[in-house]
Structure 1
Amino acid sequence: MAKKKTMLLFYRPINDRLSTRGTHEINENIAPQYESLDYDICENTLMRREEDSKGDKFVFRKRIARWFVFLLIGVVTALIACCIDIAIEELSSIKFRFLKYYVDLCMNDRCMYIPHLYWVATNIVPVLIGTILVTYVEPVAAGSGIPQVKCYLNGVKVPRIVRIKTLLVKSIGVTCSVLGGLAVGKEGPMIHSGAVVAAGISQGKTTSLSKDFHFFNYFREDHEKRDFVSGGAAAGVAAAFGAPMGGVLFSLEEGSSFWNQSLTWRIFFASMISTFTLNVILSAYHGFPGQLTYSGLLNFGAFPNISYEFFEIPLFVLMGVLGGVLGALFNYVNLKLTLFRMKYITKKWLKVVEVLVVSSVSATVAFAMIMMIDDCRPLGQDPTKFPVQLYCGDGEYSAVASIWFQNPEASVRSLFHDPPGSHNPCTVGVFFAIYFALSCWTYGLSVSSGLFIPSLLTGAAWGRLAGMFLEYLFPNAAWTNPGKYALIGAASQLGGNVRMTISLTVILIEATANITFGLPLMITLITAKWIGDLFNEGIYDLHIHLSGVPILGWEPPQLSHNIFASQFMSYPVVKFNCIESVARIVDTLRDTIHSGFPVVTSVHDPRNQQTEAGTKLCGLILRSQLIVILQNKIFVENKEEWMGKSITLKLFRDAYPRYPKIEQIYVSELERSYTVDLRNFMNPTPYTVPLAASLPRVFKLFRGLGLRHLPVLDNRFELVGIVTRKDLAKYGTNH
């Protein structure tokens, strides 16, 4: 489409696009491989025909099917969580029992290098398995998966994020990462695992295994799948922390961009089922069948008697400030490490080597700390299943070794509940510094890993240190409980890293079974978020932006009402006529990477026959729809061949979500001369905006309605441009 010089003068010339953007910095780091999801429902002729043919029974059956799918999501997510937890528990027990045996054996023989080498070996072997799976089999399984799930629920199609293969690699990988002694946790990846479970069950098929079970066909659409993935993410949180309400709020606060009330009930149902199923299985596994005392993978332990005084609130605020500063420092250092990795550690074998180096260093530093710090405690206070005597006297154990000779979750629980005097301030302080550095170095490696536990453990360490300091200043005060301040420190550090407030508060309340401590937690988390936001974004947002994902925040850029659609729209527009030739459709799909095409018809101005014909917008059609049309040969000229077939939405749902590429579609020379009537397949009522629409108005349409394409019309209601998510994401948003 040729540019019309006169049509944009009233709204500022297109040639001045860059000069009129004011102080808004344009982000050109938008990766081309990310496409948007089609959350907007296509109300075409096929959809209306299907709706007319269905009765109340179908509507009722579909409603029941939704609840049944959410039930299955909760059960299966919990089963996966149990498998991961039991595998880590059993294998870790073998590992630490083995290491304890050699430490005790070599204690008096001056051969302590042997348990050190064994420790390094028992770290490297499982970590090697995990990193090879992630690096060579499914790279999208790296990390916790929370940033990717957040992008998916925001409307961005992240390749391979909800594949069965991804789930398998994620489950095995996180088990190996925790077992290998890395500063990671298994709770964060459960959110990604729940999302994959939801996506697979709700579609009734698996594209990874090329298996179609031929049920739940009517849920094979992006907007339906999004709702189920929201429930899967919430079920993952519920399984990880035993916090069903926290799961719902997490999905609302950090995940879904679009929400409705009926979805809230279904997601809460899935979260409750997930918590209950996991509780039943783990309670039986730990020898307490029927007692339901293991509601989540991370068991903080109850704080039944915890309380606070009014004068402690300023102390909680100060800890929130410290958590915000430390969180910002963590994010900054990790950002620099990630940039270094993106620049220099690009080969797959280098990624594997880096993981092995970090694993070896983790074991070496921990062993050096155990050897160098003399912190002996009476055996009656040992918080670990494998107390190590080392250089302590008879009837004593090494408190330093007890922190390292257990899983990170157990160490968090120890710092929360160990009685006063169980830890030396030097031990806790050195552990904090070491674990802070290790967790910062570990996040971003090519392994499946979670950030929640490292953040909680780091915060619990400096929080308990703060409690011990207060206990020293006020030795006879009843309110100086080190465990209480360990909890505040853990919340503050996690909040400073990820910048979560409401959902994290509820998660911690549910995990600790103490609602009276909700206010201090909320104050601490809000303070940590505010302070952290002064320096940089949360860790998940930083990694999302480094990946070049066109994610849209909650609010449009500030002071952007003077930026109009004419300045950021894409033009000229690649478009089709209502009845288009097969040759042009095929050639256009091969020559462009566009995912949506306006459908237009030419119109003349009856008042001035000398003017060029304009283009009146008739609808919008997607690349995926055109692919299915070409694949099934739905051409006007061979109407007799396909009229006997059932041309319904089932054709498009069966191909969803992995549509063939245009190169895989064979079209003969004769068929190239045929035509396609696009009117039955296009969306005849797409949302549109005028040229004078401001960026905030366009942003709210995209964010609130889940749009992928937004045609722009001039003052004669003719098509002049189109806005996509990437056009908006270049301006940045307010999170």
Structure 2
Amino acid sequence: MTEWLSDLKSGYCSRTWYLNEEFCCWEAEPGMCVDWHKWSNFAPFSFLFYTYFAVCSHPVGCLYSKVLFAFTSAFLVKSWAPYAAGSGISEIKCILAGFIMKGFLGARTLLLKSVGLPLAIASGLSVGKEGPSVHVAVCAGHVVSRYFRKFETNAGEMREIYSASCAAGVAVAFGSPIGGVLFSLEEMSPNFPQSTMWKSFFCALIATAVLSAINPFRTGQLVLFQVHYDRTWHSFEVIFFIIIGIFGGLYGAFVIKWNLRAQAFRKRYLSQYAIWEVVFLALLTAVVGYFNVFVRVDMTEALGSLFRECNGMKDFNGICNPSESWWVAISLFLAAIIRTFFIVISYGSKVPAGIFVPSMAVGATFGRFVGTLVDMMQRSYPQSSLFSACVSDISCITPGTYAFLGAAAALSGIMHITVSVVVIMFELTGALTYTLPCMIVLGVTKATYAYFEKGGIADRMIWFNGFPFLDNKEEHTFGIPVSHVMVRDVTYIPASGLKLKDVESLISQSTYRGFPIVSDRESRYLAGYIGKREIKFVIDRAKRSRPIDPNALCYFSLSDEPTLYDPSIEHFQIGTSSSSSLDFAKFIDPTPLTVHPRLPLETVMDFFKKLGPRVILVEEKGHLCGLVTVKDVLKYEFKVENAENPRDNTVVGEMERKLWDRTITFAKYMKAGWEGRRTTPDDRDSLELDEQIPLTL
């Protein structure tokens, strides 16, 4: 669907309307396809059709037409499934760590993300489908598991299903089952026991088997970019491999830094114009990218062309023509810059959007640029000592391998992963000859981005959105006990003495998910823990079976009899509820996770990372002292980091304000110009550019 919509911007298949250009011209010789018709052979008209299909469905314009690709995708997300925006990887990492996001993995998100994703990609935005494929796969795992009570009531089993679904999503997206398992292990899951690895492998295996049976590429293979590099690499190329590795690290640091600033600007000023922002980005990408073929074509198609060798292969815009090497090199360099810019401003917009393939496209473009320059140098100076290893060979450089290494470097730089990238790239291309160069490039990339950033784009998005997530990759030494971080003013429930109306008032006014239970208010002896969901369940079940007096006593005691006995209650039975009492004993956790106030904070953080509890209670000699959550730990961590590295955001804020003011001014003048074409000269002179003019893009 994505490829058909992407090719629809340039033409259509007269033989079968739903085929893209590749399948429409499957049996035709290059340049001899009669079934594929372009909208126009006149360059200006082709440009208009290209931009029009990226944004609108009628050549009259967007104002009075039914908007397609970009608008439809953004409208679906904005109106029906807000959680379908973005890639979803950062949120899934938090869910695997124990964070609950209701609706994020629901059936509506699954359906609308599956529909909106091809539309967003076909609009030409610099976004990919591989990251969102992980979200789609986890949504599928969540929806299916809801039909089995065994999984629905077991948080540990659900986390294993989510981890396996992540592996299946990457396996299908890249045709890389082993890479999917390693990606789930390295990037997604905070805990990955042996049983989870086997389930992830089995799930990825089934997913790729189904993909192989469907045979979407009509090649009988799972790999997207099958290459056969028949030349080996030479020792002098290590210098250029290091350059590519440095580029990968710098690319990751640059995109992460400026994308977060773009996200902040979007969140502060453009939250009310999410749909029109996406339409504007699609139009801008189409207008700018049309004039560079490496940006204009679909990113997957561009990657396949950049990876290929030139021995007997179909040329792609001169990349295999030595006489056009300078022009190709300039185009590749500009394409890398343009694509990077659009990734910075597009990733995070309110459409389903990934960053894997766009980053790989940037890396492959830069890598092919470096490979083209090295090939030109070797052809121009074959007798140089630098190229002494290939004097006997007129052309011993394979620029496609540089593109392959550049794609791996950029993907590693943006995600801050290494091992899974190596496996994914090898399964994606089959280029096992370049194992050592790939490891060298990724090693340099890791060293480079570690100097600038301490987390990949997913980790930084978690930090930006304020999700309660503790990264296993980070190590901290605070040197303080947990008592410095814990919440001392705890909302607790006494074991007895509360009336039903008091309990209902407590759970309705409180935002907490659960409450510690103490023996009484004076001693605060810890007796257990109960969740708000369980309290509501008991109350609702009791009200459905019989009328309940609002003054009925509620017992949260685990002892043989209630702590307080009311003589007025006749025929009261232990462990049961009546019209005058409610017993919550069966739903109390008698052994909640507790720690001593003097326990080091680092140990408590390890508990959160490895066990994934929502809350840890702090008690001393059985008495409740406080509680601590992940948010409490993160607040202290950010406080320490801000004290050590204070930041002055006034300059950035002033730049954002000036940019927004200029955007407002431009929009006003555009609005005034449009209104001026429909008014008389006298009306045009009296038109005032004030805040009352509706803001449109």
Alignment TM-score, normalising by the size of structure 1? 0.71
Please name the residue that 2:338 is paired with.
434
Asked if residue 114 in structure 1 is aligned to residue 50 in structure 2, the reply is: no
Please name the residue that 1:702 is paired with.
608
Does structure 2 conserve the Cα–Cα contact (< 8 Å) formed by 1:138 and 1:166? yes
Please name the residue that 1:499 is paired with.
416
What SS does structure 1 have at the residue aligned with 2:10?
helix
Q: Percent sequence identity over matched residues?
A: 30
What SS does structure 2 have at the residue aligned with 1:615?
coil
Q: d(CA) in 2 for partners of 1:306 and 1:491? A: 19
1:277 partner amino acid? V
Please name the residue that 1:42 is paired with.
none
1:427 partner amino acid? S
Please name the residue that 1:417 is paired with.
308
Deviations 1:276-297 (A, max 9, x none): 111110x2x5545xxx31x25x
After superposition, where does 1:220-299 map in structure 2 within 5 Å? 220-281=153-214, 283=215, 285-287=216-218, 292-293=220-221, 295=222, 299=224
CA shift for structure 1 position 673: 8.4
After superposition, where does 1:655-694 map in structure 2 within 5 Å? 674-694=580-600
What SS does structure 2 have at the residue aligned with 1:157?
coil
Asked if residue 469 in structure 1 is aligned to residue 386 in structure 2, the reply is: no
Q: d(CA) in 1 for partners of 2:547 and 2:579? A: 12
User: Which residue of 357, 363, 372 corresponds with 2:280?
Assistant: 357
Does structure 1 conserve the Cα–Cα contact (< 8 Å) formed by 2:255 and 2:414? yes
Please name the residue that 1:617 is paired with.
526
Deviations 1:651-674 (A, max 9, x none): xxxxxxxxxxxxxxxxxxxx9984
CA shift for structure 1 position 594: 0.8
After superposition, the Cα gap between the structure-2 partners of 1:564 and 1:440, relative to the gap in structure 1 and judged at 3 Å, is same
Task: With a CA cutoff of 8 Å and minimum separation of 6, indicate the structure with the bigger relative contact order.
Answer: 1
Does structure 2 conserve the Cα–Cα contact (< 8 Å) formed by 1:188 and 1:449? yes
Q: d(CA) in 1 for partners of 2:72 and 2:578? A: 51
What SS does structure 2 have at the residue aligned with 1:590?
helix
After superposition, the Cα gap between the structure-2 partners of 1:570 and 1:433, relative to the gap in structure 1 and judged at 3 Å, is same
CA shift for structure 1 position 637: 11
Q: d(CA) in 1 for partners of 2:129 and 2:338? A: 20
Asked if residue 96 in structure 1 is aligned to residue 19 in structure 2, the reply is: no
1:321 partner amino acid? I
Does structure 2 conserve the Cα–Cα contact (< 8 Å) formed by 1:601 and 1:615? yes
Q: d(CA) in 2 for partners of 1:635 and 1:286? A: 57
Please name the residue that 1:382 is paired with.
none
Please name the residue that 1:4 is paired with.
none
User: Which residue of 437, 452, 471 corresponds with 1:520?
Assistant: 437
Does structure 2 conserve the Cα–Cα contact (< 8 Å) formed by 1:316 and 1:523? yes
Asked if residue 590 in structure 1 is aligned to residue 504 in structure 2, the reply is: no
Does structure 1 conserve the Cα–Cα contact (< 8 Å) formed by 2:97 and 2:469? yes
After superposition, the Cα gap between the structure-2 partners of 1:637 and 1:426, relative to the gap in structure 1 and judged at 3 Å, is closer
Q: d(CA) in 2 for partners of 1:539 and 1:168? A: 26
1:450 partner amino acid? G
Please name the residue that 2:649 is paired with.
none
After superposition, the Cα gap between the structure-2 partners of 1:676 and 1:572, relative to the gap in structure 1 and judged at 3 Å, is farther
CA shift for structure 1 position 456: 0.6
Q: d(CA) in 2 for partners of 1:727 and 1:529? A: 31
What SS does structure 2 have at the residue aligned with 1:355?
helix
Q: d(CA) in 1 for partners of 2:631 and 2:235? A: 49
CA shift for structure 1 position 581: 3.5
2:281 partner amino acid? V
Q: d(CA) in 2 for partners of 1:409 and 1:326? A: 20
Deviates more, 1:147-156 or 1:529-538: 529-538
Q: d(CA) in 2 for partners of 1:556 and 1:93? A: 44
Please name the residue that 1:727 is paired with.
632
Q: d(CA) in 1 for partners of 2:152 and 2:300? A: 38
Please name the residue that 2:665 is paired with.
none
User: Which residue of 596, 619, 639 corresponds with 1:713?
Assistant: 619
After superposition, the Cα gap between the structure-2 partners of 1:202 and 1:636, relative to the gap in structure 1 and judged at 3 Å, is closer
Q: d(CA) in 2 for partners of 1:635 and 1:351? A: 44
CA shift for structure 1 position 573: 1.5
Asked if residue 336 in structure 1 is aligned to residue 261 in structure 2, the reply is: yes
Q: d(CA) in 1 for partners of 2:589 and 2:545? A: 19
Q: d(CA) in 1 for partners of 2:528 and 2:239? A: 59
Does structure 1 conserve the Cα–Cα contact (< 8 Å) formed by 2:141 and 2:162? yes
Please name the residue that 2:242 is paired with.
317
After superposition, where does 1:349-388 map in structure 2 within 5 Å? 350-369=273-292
Deviations 1:365-419 (A, max 9, x none): 12334xxxxxxxxxxxxxxxxxxxxxxxxxxxxxx3xx45642101011001052
Please name the residue that 1:16 is paired with.
none
1:724 partner amino acid? T
Q: Which runs of 5 or more structure 1 residues have no equivalent in the other structure? A: 1-86, 107-111, 205-214, 370-399, 603-611, 640-670
CA-based RMSD of the aligned residues comes to 2.7
2:442 partner amino acid? L
Asked if residue 534 in structure 1 is aligned to residue 451 in structure 2, the reply is: yes
After superposition, the Cα gap between the structure-2 partners of 1:483 and 1:566, relative to the gap in structure 1 and judged at 3 Å, is same
After superposition, the Cα gap between the structure-2 partners of 1:308 and 1:634, relative to the gap in structure 1 and judged at 3 Å, is farther
Please name the residue that 2:349 is paired with.
445
Deviations 1:125-178 (A, max 9, x none): 211111111122111111111111112112212242101111111111110011
What SS does structure 2 have at the residue aligned with 1:614?
coil
Does structure 2 conserve the Cα–Cα contact (< 8 Å) formed by 1:578 and 1:679? no
Does structure 2 conserve the Cα–Cα contact (< 8 Å) formed by 1:203 and 1:217? no
Please name the residue that 2:666 is paired with.
none
After superposition, the Cα gap between the structure-2 partners of 1:494 and 1:633, relative to the gap in structure 1 and judged at 3 Å, is same
After superposition, the Cα gap between the structure-2 partners of 1:245 and 1:732, relative to the gap in structure 1 and judged at 3 Å, is farther
What SS does structure 1 have at the residue aligned with 2:530?
strand
After superposition, where does 1:395-406 map in structure 2 within 5 Å? 400=293, 403-404=294-295, 406=297
Q: d(CA) in 1 for partners of 2:368 and 2:133? A: 28
Please name the residue that 1:544 is paired with.
462
Deviations 1:270-322 (A, max 9, x none): 001111111110x2x5545xxx31x25xx122345363334433432332112
Work out the number of aligned pairs and report it: 550
What SS does structure 1 have at the residue aligned with 2:617?
strand
Please name the residue that 2:399 is paired with.
482
After superposition, the Cα gap between the structure-2 partners of 1:260 and 1:306, relative to the gap in structure 1 and judged at 3 Å, is farther
After superposition, where does 1:159-174 map in structure 2 within 5 Å? 159-174=102-117
Asked if residue 196 in structure 1 is aligned to residue 129 in structure 2, the reply is: no
Does structure 1 conserve the Cα–Cα contact (< 8 Å) formed by 2:286 and 2:296? no
Deviations 1:244-290 (A, max 9, x none): 11111111111111221112111100001111111110x2x5545xx
What SS does structure 2 have at the residue aligned with 1:549?
coil
CA shift for structure 1 position 690: 0.5
Deviations 1:671-712 (A, max 9, x none): 998443333211111121111011101001111111111110
Please name the residue that 2:425 is paired with.
508
What SS does structure 2 have at the residue aligned with 1:597?
strand
Please name the residue that 2:645 is paired with.
none
Q: d(CA) in 2 for partners of 1:533 and 1:119? A: 40
1:307 partner amino acid? T
Q: Which runs of 5 or more structure 2 residues have no equivalent in the other structure? A: 13-20, 22-35, 56-67, 311-318, 383-389, 549-576, 642-697
1:706 partner amino acid? G
1:524 partner amino acid? V
